[in-house]
Structure 1
Amino acid sequence: MTETTATPETTEPEVLTEIDGNVLVITLNRPKAKNAANAAMAQQMDAILTEFEANDSLYAAVITGAGKTFCSGMDLKGFLKGEKPSIEGKGFLALTQQTISKPVIAAVEGYALAGGFETMLACDMVVAADTAKFGIPEVKRGLAAAAGGLVTLPQRTHRAVAMEMALTGDIYPATFGKENGFVNRIVEDGKALEGALELARTIAANGPLAVKASKRIIVESIDWSTEEKFAKQQEIVDPVFVSADAKEGATAFAEKRAPQWTGK
């Protein structure tokens, strides 16, 4: 995974990448602007996520923010200039309208607001520092949380909770997110990335075909009827059960060793 090129007005890219074993770490990198998303950041995220999907040696990704902030949302200065921090068909930061086939975990320190909160919601799991703050304050600016706050949040929590967050625009603590189902784990301040990497490494140690199939079923089955859900599930899991990885998993268990996955 190579880092993207910086724009002329910056000294380094708006998004940084690092590989930790089979895990890709993606860092939103505009700390002086509290990682507010601009067009350049969205374009770089698009390239990074496309490469992540295509790289068979990467099993999971963690998205975090530089400078003790996850993402404060859209860069309003850029918005006033006509910039959009989104990619057509893929959404805010090239993530909120698409489903990545591999697990993506958000590591949240500080604020995840507006588009930043919606980017977090687009991730499969969330590890948050106990000092993290969440909110979709768009209504306070005469805008609407159209990058997932209004359509994704109700699927991740109770309707009444989503309604309150969207209509008040208030800011909420990490404990609120854990209590209402959109935060998986809360860790000490400064430990969100460490906690997310621990979770990502645990996932990446499992069979990649099985992980991808499991995620796909959980994502897609929300639209399946009771009558069709097991048949549709079977179509997705059948190739997993006859894969080389399935045989390797059983063999490794019998031989009391760690499996060597090939993704085949």
Structure 2
Amino acid sequence: MSTPNATPFTVTVDIVDERIARLTFGHPTRRNALSAALLRELDAQLVDLATRRIPVVILGSGVGQDVWSAGHDLGELVHDRDPIAHGKPLEQVLRRVRAYPGVVIAMVSGSAWGGAVDLAMSCDLVVADDSARFTMTPATIGLPYTMSGLLRFFNNMPIHVLKEMFFSAQPLDAARAERFGVINRLVDADKLEATALELARAIASKAPLAIRAVKEQLRILEDLQPMPVQAMEQIAELRRQACESADFSEGLIAFSERRPAAFGGR
């Protein structure tokens, strides 16, 4: 798939058997960046697979590449200062994955950045090879993350590891990710696809309605995080200030010029 006047991307579906599908995305000229158009196509394919009642989906961008996904296409931030807000294409896909009426397995080879880490974390299981790296980059460009996004990390890793990732933008390598439970299966690259398929077949052989019910219960339990209205308003104001700040503009310019940003806290 591609859009006019845009770099080409692909989103393909391969039905392995009647219970397993492989959903593969690619954007080679942009390091598999998650552009809005690519995300909308991912969302449409997930809707279609749900309609077809495919119990297990393996989501990935290939094996043996340096970058699994560079995250949100930062070139689009010139026109959209808050690409991770509710209702935006990335957030819509993350919600779709979490609500998918079956199991979604992330198959990760290479580094994942920013929103791509959130995409992997939103999947039910993660299978990865030794090249996998997970780097949360919002602070590098001055983008504040959302409460719902942070909650996904909060539910999946120790709080001090979460803070290290978001404060330093340093990568979490595959070994540490497995240690903290972010990765379910860590294997050599030549065994990655077979391992993901083996796990998918094990799940697909079980009762799909029972698995669907358990997944939905767990999703609801994860989302049970009551918050006072005052706290929500305070967070919304902090995010607004950051999104409208000179620091965010400087972060985007520095990224495009491939230099360190000079943040001033304003």
- Same-fold call, TM cutoff 0.5: yes
- Say if 2:208 is the partner of 1:182: no
Partner of 2:10: 14
Partner of 2:29: 32
Give the Cα–Cα distance (whole angstroms) in 2 for the partners of residues 86 and 47 of structure 1: 18
Give the Cα–Cα distance (whole angstroms) in 2 for the partners of residues 224 and 138 of structure 1: 25
- Say if 2:138 is the partner of 1:138: yes
Query: Superposition pairs for residues 57-206 of structure 1, below 5 Å?
Result: 58-66=54-62, 68=65, 69-82=67-80, 89=87, 92=90, 94-98=92-96, 99-146=99-146, 149-206=149-206
Partner of 2:248: none
Amino acid in structure 2 at the alignment position of 1:155: N
Shift of 1:206: 1.0
**Could you tell me which of 44, 49, 53 is aligned with 1:47?**
44
Give the Cα–Cα distance (whole angstroms) in 2 for the partners of residues 147 and 66 of structure 1: 30
Shift of 1:208: 1.0
Shift of 1:200: 1.1
Given the superposition, is the C-alpha separation of residues 12 and 222 from structure 1 closer, same or farther in structure 2, using an over 3 Å criterion? closer
| Other structure's SS at 1:97 match | helix
Partner of 2:234: none
| Other structure's SS at 2:155 match | helix
Partner of 1:240: none
Give the Cα–Cα distance (whole angstroms) in 1 for the partners of residues 145 and 193 of structure 2: 26
| Other structure's SS at 2:121 match | helix
Shift of 1:147: 8.3
Query: Superposition pairs for residues 201-220 of structure 1, below 5 Å?
Result: 201-220=201-220
- Contact kept? 2:9, 2:28, Cα under 8 Å: no
Root-mean-square deviation (CA, aligned residues, Å) is 2.6
Q: Hey, which of these two has a bigger chunk of helix by percent?
A: 2
Shift of 1:88: 5.5
Given the superposition, is the C-alpha separation of residues 192 and 93 from structure 1 closer, same or farther in structure 2, using an over 3 Å criterion? farther
Give the Cα–Cα distance (whole angstroms) in 1 for the partners of residues 48 and 205 of structure 2: 21
Given the superposition, is the C-alpha separation of residues 190 and 12 from structure 1 closer, same or farther in structure 2, using an over 3 Å criterion? farther
Q: Which has the higher contact order (CA 8 A, sep 6+)?
A: 2
Shift of 1:35: 0.6
Shift of 1:110: 0.3
Given the superposition, is the C-alpha separation of residues 171 and 82 from structure 1 closer, same or farther in structure 2, using an over 3 Å criterion? same
Aligned residue pairs, count: 220
Amino acid in structure 2 at the alignment position of 1:34: R
Amino acid in structure 1 at the alignment position of 2:182: F
- Contact kept? 1:36, 1:71, Cα under 8 Å: yes
Amino acid in structure 2 at the alignment position of 1:71: S
| Other structure's SS at 2:69 match | coil
Partner of 1:238: none
- Contact kept? 1:135, 1:169, Cα under 8 Å: yes
Structure 1, unpaired ranges of 5+: 226-264
Shift of 1:138: 1.3
